Structure 1
Amino acid sequence: MDHVSVTRGRPGLALLLTAVALAGPLAPVAAAVTSPGTEAGVELSADRRTVSAWMPYWGDTEAAYQDALEHADQLHTVSPFWYEASADTVKGHEGAGSEAVIDGLHRAGINVVPTVTETPGASEMAGLMHDPRRRAVHVEALLRMVQSRSYDGIDLDYETMAVTGDRAARERVRTGYNLLTRDLCARLHARGKQCVVTVLARVRGSGEAYDYQRLGAVADRVRIMGYDLHWSGGDAGPLSSKDWYEEFLRYATDTIPRNKIEVAFPGYGWDWTRGTKGRAGHLTWKEAESLRRQTGADYNFDAQSGTPHFRYRQNGADHDVWYQDARGVAEQLPLLKKYGVRGTGLWALGFEDPEVWTALRGQ
């Protein structure tokens, strides 16, 4: 994945406009809104809605919001990608905490569980999480953010700390994150709020900084990022594959209660330029399809992975584009059913093939 590389790769969007400090008065708390089927520690969605989705803070945010409202009958949770945590503060990106968005989603019966990413790397985060005092300060900062609006909980998408080639550092992150989520989830549950964690797929050496079993015991939901098998900084190839889903679902369902697992699908792709070492360009499904038609490229579908792709030539350079569409999602969904997983997710609202919603309805 990664959510972090996508956001940080967009110039001009790093401006942080709001800050939730550790001391001082809380922001006014809006009247609590009780969404249907929502209670910390209890299976969500009495009406059996099975999809959650992230809402980016960049791009066409109004279109993403309208996308959520249009599919409210399938969405149980929307996670605006609004916040970033340092060691002792939580800051908001542009548009964070919009009461109009929060209230609109609540009126549609959708839970609002904002996502928080982290800036410190593995070494700093491990030290923080293993230090009881510093860990408590960090938890308080997160709780203050949750209380600043009528949020239904929090989604921790802590990836920066998880990406390290040092095995000892990964182990300290893993054990430290167990302590942090134990403390945070308990505090959130005491307030009737949800505790959600987003993790890398635990397969082929990836995701070792996450203890699936412990996270599954304390969190209400564990969201597995089912994308970036091939990522922007690597070789061209499918973002996900059926074999890959089989591998990480086997491990996940052995360690996490199935009703807590969500597998998130990509609504985007990468455009790799052959023969260069630069990062691939990010494309939403709509952008990928527009580019394919514009260049006259053939639509190809890789049956082994369950993903579309195409090739084109521009300005003397050859390009490979791999992405995901509704056909691909429909091909991969049977893997979730095989392992008894009904929870699905989408990265991200406004990115996806509109027909994905029809495919997800059958899950």
Structure 2
Amino acid sequence: MNWSSRVRRAFISLITGIGLLATLLVAAPLAQADTPRIAAGWLPYWMTSPTRPAGVNSAVANADLLSDVSPFWYSAMQGGAAGVQVKVNPNFTNSAANMAWALGQLRGAGLRVVPAIADSSGKGTMAAVLANPATRSAHVADLVNTVLSNGYDGIDLDYETFAFSDGRASWAATQPNWTAFVQELGGALHAQGKSLTVTIPPPCSTTNACGPTEGYWVYNMTGIAPFVDHIRIMAYDFHVQGIGAIAPMPWVRAIVAYAASVIPPEKVQIGVPTYGRSWTKRTASNGYQLSGTCPASGSAAYKTLTSMVSTTDADIPGVLATVGVDPATVQWDPVAQESWVEYDKPVAWTDASGASQTCTARRIMWWVGPQAVLARTQLVGEFGLGGAAYWTIGGDDPAQWPLIRAYAQQLAPAATEVTVTAAPEVAFNTPLSIAAAVTSAGAPVTGVDASLQFKKPKAAAWTTVATSPVGADGSVAFAPNATELGAWRIFVPGVAGRAEQASAPVAVQIASAVKATPKKKVVKSRVQVTVRAVALPGHRKQVILVQLQRGARWKTVGRALTDGRGIAKIVIEAQKKAGVYSYRAQAQPKAGYGSGLSEPFTIRVK
């Protein structure tokens, strides 16, 4: 990561007159290391409109923690010359206006927008498209065009049909075509400065066995890793129809440990659920635990009583309050690291005679609430992951964000302070003394090479001109020849646990370098004497003065302009009385360079 610092410019005026040259001391403001952006996630389309803005609002409010966000707007649907076409999800009504609004909000918060694209083409369709090099190439072009034409920062591929529709028997044939597709798409997007994220189901079984032929191995995690920026692993839905934890921590940890061992961990974003599920409990004979007068199996009321229901973290407190759950009865499973609670759910229904009846289901809910979200997010620091990706942003419990922010701040590296000292003025093409004291948390920084950097007035970037190791006392010094106008700074790179830092820039005044020599050093009274002066760097029409010393003062006795090489010939009149007289040449400021003085020279009058 790059940790940017606040900098200020210091402009030093030319110091003239007699006295000691002052030393410029410039301390860069102590950089407050930015909170690491350790989170990402998906925004369902139904949470990205002005009338239903939960996803956008949550992302904007927590933009400081988010590396990017993925609105779920697009689907790869059957049709077109390639066999599939990228289209906006047809269920997203008024999509153009809603997407424009959401983009404005997200970009206004400084967020990278990497829309998710789902595979909605149907069983076997995408596999067939990728198996044909021509249609595969056309699909790549369609995806790249979607990114470029909308100005997105990249895309997130969420192609789950291979895993959940095509069947395991198809995976051996699909895997190499999928890998080639990701390689081609990654290359095409990266050539345009765009990113590629791929979302995959876990590469591990539900018994925590992980490997190239375990879990959903068709996605070839190790094979596609070189071509993508991030791989998001959906480490959830451990229990869907059966009762239990959504993302039990031992399973999640096994997934993360394996992924981080076989691909660069910074490419891994671990998927974290922000939802729960509730089920009706079963009896010993596997029937549902229902009491009261209950409807017939297959009826709408019966389905209401017995169906599994998914609920967002945002809605869970209200749902539990509705059925009268006392928050004190909520349990925490220390192994799964999730919350659960049992409760009664009464359902009123009308029987065939028209009489009102009530049936009560004994329900159990498991969910990944704020504390559980934090526990999974903490794997980011433990394994050096690229982040945690939340499904969903917008369905989250707002209470999770302060926990995540506090954790992220713990991961922020210590700040570095670079205090520069430099002479405020130096003659052209002479050594400039510039040094720095480097500290972090009040202690000297050592064991790192600092860089002296220079930037011309109109340049956009800094150029490194020298490097030197920082001493045991945290000091480093440079002595470059000052030949160009511009700003100087000293940059100290970061290491694990400490942020990088550049000093505040210093603009050192460069004075013209002047040499002056009289054509004759011994002359008669009142004769004309030519003084040859050279002022560097050479500028045409720079004013050169010849000055005669009178006690503590210098009196101008001659004046001329330089040619393009910086040479001027100044004619002066020798003094009337015999004696030895001291002179000097002074170059007036020109083209940003300051006034410069020659060494004194003498002329003897006979």
Structure 1 residue 63, shift from structure 2 partner = 2.0
Structure 1 residue 144, shift from structure 2 partner = 2.1
Instruction: Tell me what 1:31 maps to.
Output: none
Structure 1 residue 99, shift from structure 2 partner = 2.1
Indicate which of 211, 225, 238 corresponds to 2:220.
211
Structure 1 residue 188, shift from structure 2 partner = 0.6
Structure 2 Cα separation of the partners of residues 119 and 279 of structure 1: 25
Which segment is superposed worse, 235-244 or 248-257?
Answer: 248-257
5 Å matches for 1:264-279? 264-274=271-281, 275=287
Structure 1 residue 306, shift from structure 2 partner = 0.5
5 Å matches for 1:16-31? none
Instruction: Tell me what 1:79 maps to.
Output: 70
Instruction: Tell me what 1:287 maps to.
Output: 315
Structure 1 residue 88, shift from structure 2 partner = 2.5
Indicate the structure with greater strand content.
Answer: 2
Relative to 1, partners in 2 of residues 1:191 and 1:127: Cα closer, same or farther, differing over 3 Å? same
**DSSP-derived class of the 2:314 partner:** helix
Contact 2:273 2:392 (C-alpha < 8 Å) held by counterparts: yes
Amino acid of the structure 2 residue aligned with 1:280: M
Indicate which of 81, 84, 89 corresponds to 2:85.
89
Which segment is superposed worse, 128-137 or 52-61?
Answer: 52-61
Structure 1 residue 96, shift from structure 2 partner = 4.2
Contact 1:188 1:194 (C-alpha < 8 Å) held by counterparts: yes
Relative to 1, partners in 2 of residues 1:47 and 1:301: Cα closer, same or farther, differing over 3 Å? closer
Contact 2:123 2:166 (C-alpha < 8 Å) held by counterparts: no
Instruction: Tell me what 2:169 maps to.
Output: 168
Amino acid of the structure 2 residue aligned with 1:244: W
Count of equivalent residues:
319
**DSSP-derived class of the 2:151 partner:** coil
Relative to 1, partners in 2 of residues 1:137 and 1:279: Cα closer, same or farther, differing over 3 Å? farther
Which segment is superposed worse, 333-342 or 157-166?
Answer: 333-342
Structure 1 residue 47, shift from structure 2 partner = 6.4
Structure 1 Cα separation of the partners of residues 166 and 182 of structure 2: 23
Structure 2 Cα separation of the partners of residues 224 and 302 of structure 1: 23
Structure 2 Cα separation of the partners of residues 334 and 113 of structure 1: 24
Relative to 1, partners in 2 of residues 1:165 and 1:57: Cα closer, same or farther, differing over 3 Å? closer
Amino acid of the structure 2 residue aligned with 1:258: P
Indicate which of 259, 264, 271 corresponds to 1:257.
264
Contact 1:121 1:161 (C-alpha < 8 Å) held by counterparts: no
Relative to 1, partners in 2 of residues 1:145 and 1:176: Cα closer, same or farther, differing over 3 Å? same
Larger Rg: 2
**DSSP-derived class of the 1:178 partner:** helix
**DSSP-derived class of the 2:84 partner:** coil
Amino acid of the structure 1 residue aligned with 2:72: F
Indicate the structure with greater helix content.
Answer: 1
Q: What whole-Å deviation, never above 9, does each CA across 1:159-203 have from its counterpart, x for those lacking one?
A: 122225843302222222111111111111111111110111111
Structure 1 Cα separation of the partners of residues 378 and 107 of structure 2: 31
Instruction: Tell me what 1:299 maps to.
Output: 330
Structure 1 residue 273, shift from structure 2 partner = 2.5
Q: What whole-Å deviation, never above 9, does each CA across 1:93-136 have from its counterpart, x for those lacking one?
A: 21545222213212211000000001234533222111101111
Contact 2:41 2:393 (C-alpha < 8 Å) held by counterparts: yes
Structure 1 residue 254, shift from structure 2 partner = 2.0
Contact 1:54 1:80 (C-alpha < 8 Å) held by counterparts: yes
5 Å matches for 1:207-246? 207-231=216-240, 234-246=241-253
Relative to 1, partners in 2 of residues 1:187 and 1:135: Cα closer, same or farther, differing over 3 Å? same
Matched, 1:53 2:30: no
Contact 2:235 2:255 (C-alpha < 8 Å) held by counterparts: no
Instruction: Tell me what 2:363 maps to.
Output: 319
Structure 1 Cα separation of the partners of residues 162 and 170 of structure 2: 9
Matched, 1:346 2:347: no
Contact 2:377 2:388 (C-alpha < 8 Å) held by counterparts: no
5 Å matches for 1:95-114? 96=95, 98-114=99-115
Deviating runs (4+, > 6 A) in structure 1?
Answer: none
Structure 2 Cα separation of the partners of residues 70 and 54 of structure 1: 15
Which segment is superposed worse, 197-206 or 116-125?
Answer: 116-125
Q: What whole-Å deviation, never above 9, does each CA across 1:330-360 have from its counterpart, x for those lacking one?
A: 3334444332225111111221121222232
**DSSP-derived class of the 2:218 partner:** coil
Relative to 1, partners in 2 of residues 1:166 and 1:116: Cα closer, same or farther, differing over 3 Å? closer
Instruction: Tell me what 2:604 maps to.
Output: none
Instruction: Tell me what 2:400 maps to.
Output: 356
Structure 2 Cα separation of the partners of residues 100 and 343 of structure 1: 27
Structure 1 residue 145, shift from structure 2 partner = 1.4
Amino acid of the structure 2 residue aligned with 1:70: A
**DSSP-derived class of the 1:163 partner:** helix
Q: What whole-Å deviation, never above 9, does each CA across 1:65-95 have from its counterpart, x for those lacking one?
A: 1111111111121111000002321110215
Q: TM-score, normalised by structure 1?
A: 0.81
Which segment is superposed worse, 93-102 or 73-82?
Answer: 93-102
Structure 1 Cα separation of the partners of residues 311 and 173 of structure 2: 35
Structure 1 residue 258, shift from structure 2 partner = 0.8
| RMSD of aligned Cα (Å) | 2.3
Contact 1:120 1:161 (C-alpha < 8 Å) held by counterparts: no
Structure 1 residue 279, shift from structure 2 partner = 5.2
Contact 2:35 2:65 (C-alpha < 8 Å) held by counterparts: no
Structure 1 Cα separation of the partners of residues 377 and 196 of structure 2: 25
Amino acid of the structure 2 residue aligned with 1:123: G
**DSSP-derived class of the 1:127 partner:** helix
Relative to 1, partners in 2 of residues 1:114 and 1:320: Cα closer, same or farther, differing over 3 Å? same
**DSSP-derived class of the 1:138 partner:** helix
Relative to 1, partners in 2 of residues 1:201 and 1:279: Cα closer, same or farther, differing over 3 Å? farther
Amino acid of the structure 2 residue aligned with 1:222: I
Amino acid of the structure 2 residue aligned with 1:299: V
Structure 2 Cα separation of the partners of residues 124 and 112 of structure 1: 28
5 Å matches for 1:169-188? 169-188=170-189
Amino acid of the structure 1 residue aligned with 2:321: R
Q: TM-score, normalised by structure 2?
A: 0.50
Structure 2 Cα separation of the partners of residues 321 and 178 of structure 1: 39
